Amino acid sequence: MRSITLFLVLFLSACAVKMNNGPLYSSYYRYEQSVSVDNLHKLQFDFFSSNLIKNLNINEPEITEQLLFTKYMFKQKSHFEKINEKVGCLSINGFDNENMPISFNIKYIAENEHWLIEEIGVLFVNSIADFTDSAKCPSEYQN
């Protein structure tokens, strides 16, 4: 009986953690797990808005590197999202491969019933004190 109770507690805990990930983070996670340099061209319309990619040449190495921004974050610490009808913002705090703090701020738009990346902001912050504690779009940061 004890093992069944323990199993149920662990199962429900896992479900609760999974449910905390909203639609923007879920879209980000699918992108992070699916897209690579080898399939970016094929999958670009599944993850990026038509407005973002309409003037980009994905065959240029600099563009490819920018669109594969997720490779800069080695470990995630926290994430926040907010949605206002057909626009949403996702902020992810974490660390790069040298354990330096980094934040992604991504603007999503709802297009063809999917959340697609419209804008990407990568911030190399000075310390974890600079991590955001709420979702922000890239435009909310001054250059």
* Conformation bin of residue 30: beta by default, left when phi > 0, alpha when psi is -120 to 50: alpha
Query: What's the pLDDT score for residue 20?
Result: 55
Rg from Cα positions in the chain: 17
pLDDT of residue 18 exceeding 50 = no
Higher pLDDT, 11 or 83: 83
Query: What's the pLDDT score for residue 58?
Result: 87
pTM over 0.85: no
Average pLDDT over residues 127-143: 87
Q: How confident is the model at residue 19 (pLDDT cuts 50, 70, 90)?
A: very low
Residue 46 sits at φ, ψ, to 5 deg, of: -80, -20
Sheet order of strands, 87-95 included: 75-84, 87-95, 101-111, 114-124
Average pLDDT over residues 42-53: 94
Cβ of 84: how many Cβ atoms within 10 Å? 7
